[in-house]
Amino acid sequence: MKFSTEIRDNIATVKSHVEKLDALHAPDLKSELVQVAKEGTNHIVLDLSESRYCDSSGLSAVLIGNRLCRDSNGKFVLTGLQASVEKLIQISQLDRVLTIVPTASEGFDFLVMEMTEAQLDDNQESE
């Protein structure tokens, strides 16, 4: 299994099980992210802690996940970046676009907090 998905509290955690997120594996990640979005989950944590390498096609898959969430008023969080992957994201200046936290559990907690704040804002607006 190249990627696994766990959905809890309307947040999908997609975990990569590939060492190289490259042209060989990026299409599978894209289809996993699209499938999660199709099923109605618009908050995604992408855990790349097992991926030690990423190329432009891997970055493209990551950006598709970010766009799917943004287009459905959700949030996308990238976690578990190895040094080489983090460096590529910084060089391409995607660290300015993507929400990046150290671990998948922190990503999940971040999204729970974001969802709670959004609900509070909605409640205040309707009063």
Neighbour count for residue 15 (Cβ, 10 Å): 21
pTM of the entire predicted model: 0.94
Right CATH number for 3-126 from 3.40.1380.10, 3.30.750.24, 3.30.420.40, 3.30.70.1350? 3.30.750.24
Q: Determine the pLDDT at residue 29.
A: 98
Query: How large is the average pLDDT for residues 28-54?
Result: 97
Are the C-beta atoms of 37 and 7 separated by less than 8 Å? no
Report pLDDT digits (tens) over 42-60: 999 999 999 999 999 999 9
Asked whether residue 127 carries a pLDDT value surpassing 80, the answer given is no
Pairing of strands 75-79, 43-47: parallel
Report pLDDT digits (tens) over 95-122: 999 999 999 999 999 999 999 998 888 8
Domain extent listing, the chain: 3-126
Neighbour count for residue 9 (Cβ, 10 Å): 9
